[in-house]
Amino acid sequence: MAHSENIEATHYLDHQSPQQVTNCHKSMPTPEEIEKGLTDESEEVREAWARRKDFTPTPEQVERGLTDDSWRVRVVWVGRMDFTPTPEQIERGMRSADVWVRKMWVDRMDITPTRMQIERGLTDEDPWIRRAWAERTDYVPTPAQVERGLTDESYYVREAWAKRIDYTPTPEQADRGIRDDNAIVVVQWIRRTDVLWEECIIREGLQSSIEKIRKEWESRLSGHKASITDAYENEDQCLSCI
C-alpha cells in the first residue's frame, strides 16, 4: 500500500498519525485523499480513516475494508452504518476467525440472519458470541435452542437466555434455573413474571446464604425490582442452600 505522503492539504502532514487523520476536519477530504488514506501501509492510519464519518465510502472501499489484513480495521468497517452489506459480506464476516469481527456482525441489527447463521452463532465456540446471539430478538428460538442455551457451560450465556421472554420455560427448566450455581443466573429467574414459584422455593430463597438472592426475593415479594448491580459482585459464589 502507498504510504501517506505528498498530500496537498495544509492540515495534512507528509506522514499522518491516526490522531492527525481523525482530528483534521478543517475541510472535507477529497476523494483522492480518502483513497490514499484508506490504502495507507499503516493499519493505524487505515483504521483512523475508516472511523471518519465525513465521507461516504464506495462499494469498492467497503469491500476492501471488510477484507483488510488487520482485524482492527475490519472491526471498524463492520461498525459503519452508512452501507448495506451484501449477503456474501455478511456470511463471510460471521464466519471470521476473529471473535471481535464476528461480534460486530452479530451486533448489526440492520441485517436479517438466516436460520443457519443463527444456529451456527448459538453454537459458536466463544461464549461472548453465543450470548450476543441469545440477546438478538429478531428470531424465535426453537425448543432445542432454548434448552441448549439454558444449559450452556457459561453462566454469561445462561443469564442471557434466562432474560428472554419469547419462550415459556418448562417446569424442569425453571427449577433448574432457580437452582443454578451462579447467583447472577438465579436473579434473572427470580425476575421472570411468567413463572409461579412454589412456596418451598421462595422460602429457600429468602433463607439463602447469599445476600443478593435474599434481597431479590424480598424485592419481588414487595413488588419492586432490586438493582442488578449487587448481583454482579462475588459472582463465583454458589447457592449453598438452594
> pLDDT (tens digit, 0 to 9) for every residue of the chain, 242 residues total?
443 333 333 233 334 555 555 555 557 899 999 999 999 999 999 999 999 999 999 999 999 999 999 999 999 999 999 999 999 999 999 999 999 999 999 999 999 999 999 999 999 999 999 999 999 999 999 999 999 999 999 999 999 999 999 999 999 999 999 999 999 999 999 999 899 999 999 999 999 989 999 999 999 898 755 544 444 444 444 333 33
Dist CA 174 CA 70 (whole Å): 44
Considering only CA atoms, give the Rg of the chain: 24
134 close to 122: Cβ distance less than 8 angstroms: yes
Question: What spatial distance separates the first Cα and last Cα of the chain, rounded to whole Å?
Answer: 61
Rounded Cα distance between 242 and 239, Å, is 6
> In one letter, which amino acid is 150?
L
Only one residue has cell 488514506, namely 37
7: CB partners within 8 A, 6+ apart? 14, 16, 33, 36
Q: What's the CA gap between 191 and 213, in Å, rounded?
A: 11
Residue spans of beta strands (DSSP E) within 59-181: none
Q: Which of 158, 177, 180 minimizes the C-alpha distance to 169?
A: 177
pLDDT at 238: 36
210: CB partners within 8 A, 6+ apart:
183, 234, 237, 239, 240
Beta-carbon contacts of residue 44 (< 8 Å; ≥ 6 apart): 17, 18
SS3 225: coil
Residue type, 192: R
Q: Alpha-carbon distance 17 to 22, whole Å? A: 9
Q: What is the pLDDT of residue 222?
A: 87
